Amino acid sequence: MKPIDEQHIAEPGLVVLDITDGDEGTVRAVMAALEEHWATSGIVPVHRDLGQPGVRARVYADVLRPGREGP
């Protein structure tokens, strides 16, 4: 994954979340749950890092804006 720098999170409320787990289904479930609460980049592709256990995904979220369950 590309490094996170200040330009990614230059505004209050913007966050970058790296999600790692043993299986793709769990990572997708976490992304779906985050999407319910906050405005996110959605369900993004999951990938494996060669020589590392598990799978990873990076999600961008705005914790100041509601997701699907919001008003």
Span 31-50, pLDDT tens digits: 999 999 999 999 999 999 89
Helix residue ranges, H only, 1-71: 24-37
pLDDT in the model for residue 67: 86
Residue 41 · residue 60 · CB < 8 Å = yes
With a pLDDT cut of 70, the percent of the chain lying above it is 85
Beta bridge partners of 65: none
**CA neighbor of 46 nearest in space, from 62, 58, 37:** 58
pTM for this predicted structure:
0.79
| pLDDT for 28 beyond 60 | yes
Question: So what's the pLDDT on residue 13?
Answer: 84
6-10, 18-22, 25-29, range with the lowest pLDDT? 6-10
